[in-house]
Structure 1
Amino acid sequence: MSEAQALFQRAIALREVQDLGGALDAILLAAKAVPNDPNVALGLAQISFEAGLNAADLYADAARLQPQRIDLQRSRAAALAAEGRLTEAEALLETVLAANPGWIEGHRCLCGMRATAGDPDFARSFSAAIERDPANFGLRMAWFHVLATARQWESARAVITDAEAALGERQASLLGKLFLASESGKAAENAALFDGVEHVQDVGLDLARVRHFLRGGQIERAHDVCLRHAGTPPMRAFWSYLSLAWRLLGDARVDWLDGGMRDVRSFDLGFSAEELAELARTLRQLHTMNEPWHEQSVRGGTQTERPLLLRIDPVIAAARSKIEAAVARYIDELSPPDATHPLFAAPRGRFLFAGSWSVKLRPGGYHATHTHPMGWISSALYVTAPEASQRGPAPAGYLQFGNPPPELGLGLEPYGSVEPKPGRLVLFPSTMWHGTVPFTDGERMTIAFDVVPAQSIPNSPDKA
């Protein structure tokens, strides 16, 4: 193995353990030794981007060395947007899409950029592409999913109607119509809505079934669909719904699973007022978007991009150090291991960040109720929070746990809530429902992240 190859392998290994500073040092030396190596060039772009550095021109270099990889243009566009060069990012994607109208990931990236910029016609690239490739049913369904995620029900319905008029009904469009009928509320009371596709086995469809059954009072059916996935990786997405079913059925196993506020812990991280002020200034500079992504829980605020806690900024690094100590303590103090439990089954050793970001809410903003099925432990670190006099009557601005999505109409009360306080870190199971209550005035800015074990998480919920 050459020295350059060894440096490249070292950079990859350090990136995998989230030592971005060490990874950057190694990949820079490798790039100096072999400036035209396509893998090294891509590694330099990726590591630089994740470390919070400018990477758009580096992705351009990587794309030049691998012109057949259209995905590198998407990464380059994302880097351009992150550097505040949104006009260039949109122009790049428009150019690539003009030559590749069926490139779905490119459309999704462009739609996300336009949506977070506040563009009401964020999905217009799809209509232009369909004009050029009208027989592309997958492209039409991708357009549908983008609109449905934005909860633009009528526009999404029109896309399916046009697709079927041009190409006939297919399973994907049928399932899309069922999803629309349920989630838009037009057929929420139709108990038999999904009966005609009972033979179709699909994780996404099962999630739609569970939500429909819960909404319509068919609790046993929702419960049974959840248990189809017991012992499989997709069960991570169903634990939260199984919790709701167990609560509605009066099943004592919900105490084993959730235990109310048992696994919700708050930690004072010991920030000084000066440290919090500097951290807040740093985070505000990263909030460059006008609106949140449609697929996120943020309402009335913005969310940063790139993995926040991997940035090599010293202010972020200092916060990360405090966070890691608190997470380690939380893990050490968990209940004894239980191979059937989504929180207690995981290895208690080294952990990694599966994602990290900041959210800044404006007056009236809140987080819709949600979970983090790809995580193990989730969080909220309050950097700024409205004064009690600004929030409004309690629980305005509080973080609530166990409250089901209101659109399901289940009438279950939250398990409890936590008051926002600058410097307070709240840790909780990723499978637990949580959301925040709107507040009247002030700024609420947090750092949030998901943690996963460095080893894989077992999925053998025999108790279910």
Structure 2
Amino acid sequence: MPVRSLFPTIFYEDALGDAALLDELRHACRDIAAADRAGQSWSRAHGYRGYTSYASLNDLPQRDPRIADLVRHLNRHAAAFAAECAFDLAGKRLKLDSLWVNILKPGGIHSGHLHPHSVVSGTLYVDVPPGSGALRLEDPRLPMLMAAPARPDSFVYVEPGAGSIFLWESWLRHEVMPNAAKSERISISFNYRW
């Protein structure tokens, strides 16, 4: 009996491929975190173990030329991912909607979530010490499985490395596993809209 796989969930993995820019981004992330008092306060108030500019800065590509250089790379990856997803964009391109820095201290996590109002989300991993936590992706069918037996692959764990770029559709629930390393993990996350 023939079996077909319907409605696949596409996950994109590639590398930044620019070691000099990656090194510049390490410094950029630390510079941004040191200067962003509002982001430091938000992170403390919301129990974020480390720093994020998620709720404080919305102009990083204009603020820092190193981030602007990154955006040129991300736009190319977002276009490749959109093609893999077979999005009908009616001749338009996806547009970067938001981009933020994350510096996750040892013991830090980011619980399960999704990114509403976006089409594509992703992360560039800037500094990834060993044991600093995988990205855990959740089978999007879980809420509808009701009385179905357990499946061994309801969660997929993807281990990033420095320079890894991951992209997924924004409705895909995901979380950052605990940082068990002895040092901070640095990443830059982003959303694209249509």
TM-score (norm 1): 0.34
For 2:143, the equivalent position in structure 1 comes to none
For 1:126, the equivalent position in structure 2 comes to none
For 1:315, the equivalent position in structure 2 comes to 66
Please tell me the residue identity of whatever aligns with 1:280: R
Q: Specify the SS of the correspondent of 2:106.
A: strand
1:238-269 deviation per Cα after TM superposition (whole angstroms, max 9, x unaligned) = xxxxxxxxxxxxxxxx952xx3xx31101112
Matched, 1:303 2:44: no
Structure number having the greater strand percentage: 2
Structure number having the greater helix percentage: 1
User: Identity rate of aligned residues, in percent?
Assistant: 26
Count of aligned pairs: 173
Matched, 1:399 2:135: yes
For 2:170, the equivalent position in structure 1 comes to 430
CA distance in 2, matches of 1:328, 1:290: 35
Matched, 1:374 2:111: no
1:290-313 deviation per Cα after TM superposition (whole angstroms, max 9, x unaligned) = 552767xx7422211222543242
CA distance in 2, matches of 1:317, 1:367: 26
Is the Cα–Cα contact under 8 Å of residues 111 and 176 in structure 2 kept in the other structure? yes
RCO higher in structure (CA 8 A, sep ≥6): 2
Q: Compute the displacement of 1:317 (Å).
A: 1.4
Q: Specify the SS of the correspondent of 1:382.
A: strand
CA distance in 2, matches of 1:444, 1:315: 19
Q: Compute the displacement of 1:345 (Å).
A: 5.7
CA distance in 2, matches of 1:328, 1:374: 18
CA distance in 1, matches of 2:98, 2:44: 15
For 1:448, the equivalent position in structure 2 comes to 189
Q: Specify the SS of the correspondent of 2:78.
A: helix
Matched, 1:363 2:102: no
* Contiguous gaps of at least 5 residues in structure 2: 141-145
1:378-398 deviation per Cα after TM superposition (whole angstroms, max 9, x unaligned) = 0011011112xxx1xxxx600
267 and 436 in structure 1: CA distance in 2 versus 1, 3 angstrom threshold: same
Matched, 1:416 2:162: no
CA distance in 2, matches of 1:345, 1:362: 40
347 and 424 in structure 1: CA distance in 2 versus 1, 3 angstrom threshold: farther
Is the Cα–Cα contact under 8 Å of residues 269 and 326 in structure 1 kept in the other structure? no
CA distance in 2, matches of 1:255, 1:293: 43
Q: CA RMSD in A?
A: 2.7
For 1:237, the equivalent position in structure 2 comes to none
* Contiguous gaps of at least 5 residues in structure 1: 1-253, 336-343, 405-409, 454-464
